Chain A
Amino acid sequence: MSLSQQVSSDRQLARLLQIGIVLEEVVEARAHRHYQSLSDDERVLDPEIEALLSHAADESAEHRKRLEALIEDLSVDSIPFDEIETLVEARYGQTKPEDFDGVLYDQLCNEETAYKFYDDLIEAIEASDAEFSVDREQLLEVLRTLRSEERDGAEEVTKIMEKRE
């Protein structure tokens, strides 16, 4: 055991970006599952939630692509993600939210967790003086965009939750 430093190498950065991809994968899988679990009647009754979940799944897929592009530019061996996708999908294949409140609460947790992850990662990169094989400013710009979209997503869910109270 030793005291860990901030982000200091391509390998460590790539690993953190991979964790970001898995988190996005989890968000996407859960949003998709929740969306599928809404019955036809419910979808008619609640287009707002349908739109929210559909948007969340699309946004997570987009975030994953942006993270994958960053990893490709780093000097590390890439790891295939098919297995992770299968694993996450299998994990959520069984679960169903109990009601709308459960769906929204879960979605809020997803967005907030992803926001926290990007926020910590940005802070760690800013605190590090390591040289990465990707442009630091470009890297931070991508991560700040993702963080901002997660914050917007959390606010969106919160608004809907408040309206429903």
Chain B
Amino acid sequence: MIREFSSNEVWFLVQALRWTVLLTLIAFACGGLVGLGIAILRVSEVRLSRAFALGYIKMFQGTPLLMQLYLLHFGSSLVGIVANAWLSAALALTLYASAFLGEIWRGCIRAVPRGQWDGAHALGFSHLQQLRLVILPQAVRIAIPPTVGFLVQILKGTSLASIIGFTELTRAAQMVNNATFRPLIVYGLVAGLYFCLCWPLSLLSQRLERRLDWEQVPTLKVPVQ
């Protein structure tokens, strides 16, 4: 029995949006925490921790997000945890986000001029103090635009959680489509909903980046003496 596509279905999809948003926020918050650790390891003075962080980043950047989801989902039952789509999706997206954010933030830390490290060193700060008190506060400003940009990637990435059976927006669309069989309308609407979330973030990221460029012009003009 085929159901009509009505306002009920639209409402069902809009409601499913909260799971997409929630999953995004969890992955972003947890991924950010782990990612900060990865970024710090990546600029560490110890060679081994730099190598570990590099391997971690390469491993996640060189494999499909879908496979990371599958491995956590099918792997969790092997270690005795009942496979739970919520948990697998949140964990996989957290790890994925941590690797990418770690690499993005490493770039931002590296973008802080070398002289700032030397200056902090001259003040007698330890490596971690140099990072915490001098480098990171300056790197944060550079990091905001690409971080907001990556938030869009996480948001889009949550759609893959539908494949392991987590009911977020894309999975809700599949359910509605199975009942109404109006794929063009259903997926068109869902694409529109994703767009409404992602586009403002993309625009914000671009604007912040332009403002940062503009702000940095005067400092670049300071003559070297």
A binds B: no
